[in-house]
Amino acid sequence: MPSPFPGMNPYLEHPGVWPGVHHLLISEIARFLSPQLRPKYRVAVEVRMYESSGENALLVGIPDVIVQYSQSTKNQETKSVAVADPSPQPVKVKIPTPEIIKEGYLEVREVGTEEVVTTIEILSPTNKRTGKGRHMYEEKRQHVLGSRTNLVEIDLLRTGEPMSFFDSNIESHYRILVCRGNSRPYADLYAFNLQDVIPSFSLPLRVGDSEPVIDLQTLLNGVYDISGYDLVIDYSKEIIPPLSEVDSGWVDGLLREQALR
């Protein structure tokens, strides 16, 4: 069964679902572009890796340290050290466990020179929250924007802090930023909402090259079908992350029209 939403399916933003969507969407974009870019360019799938622990670990689902004190321990602190109290029983605690975070992205490279012509990023939750993931991505972003490399930045997540650009008064659920290396400081921002079809856009390459049009909506619908998300998602449940009251009402009406609620 196809996705019941005309644009982005908000159920795919669930923390337990999004990592798979992210991985498959990158793969589908690469699969789509590769034959169109040959023989001048090739599409490379790259992985950014970092270790997350401590405060950042909480953001990726690893519990922070939970310290509990028994009453006997508190009492012991108020007594003289010369008084021998029975040893307190140990209390089970959870400690922050380092985890290797992997974030995939695409690079369009010139065959022969291996020069990166265009970088394609699909934002993950860690890119949009304070912590090491955002810091590393912002460093990478600034490096790209300071070069002649084109940048395509796809944000299909409603929550978190959007990436910065000067016209910060533009608000939307989702965003696609197409930043050409020869047009900076200007870029094309496709701002769209839950009710909208995801806009298509041309992939920036070198000046004079034919640019393939990426129909992200079709590619995302393909990911939905490939992974059988209709067999996984329970449309009778509320959406996580939650929607506003207005958007929740729109979703409820849409799903009821299709007998999914």
Q: What is the residue extent of each domain of the chain?
A: 10-61+96-257
Supply the pTM of this predicted model: 0.82
Q: Residue 83: its pLDDT value, please?
A: 55
What residue ranges of the chain have pLDDT lower than 50?
A: 54-81
Q: What is the rounded distance in angstroms from the CA atom of residue 78 to the CA atom of residue 49?
A: 47
According to DSSP, residue 51 is labeled E
Report the pLDDT value the prediction gives residue 166, as an integer from 0 to 100.
64
Distance of CA 199 to CAs 18, 194, 207, 214, 218, Å? 20, 12, 23, 9, 10
Any idea what DSSP says for residue 188? E
Residue 102: predicted pLDDT: 80
Helix (H) or strand (E) holding 31: helix 18-37
Give the Cα-Cα-Cα angle 191, 192, 193 (nearest 5 degrees): 140
In this prediction, residue 174 carries a pLDDT of 97
Nearest partner of 21 among 6, 1, 3, 46, judged by Cα: 3
Q: How many Å apart are CA 44 and CA 240, to the nearest integer?
A: 32
At residue 249, the pLDDT reads 97
CA distances from 231 to 224, 255, 261 (A): 10, 16, 15
**Cβ count within 10 A of residue 122:** 23
pLDDT at 168: 64
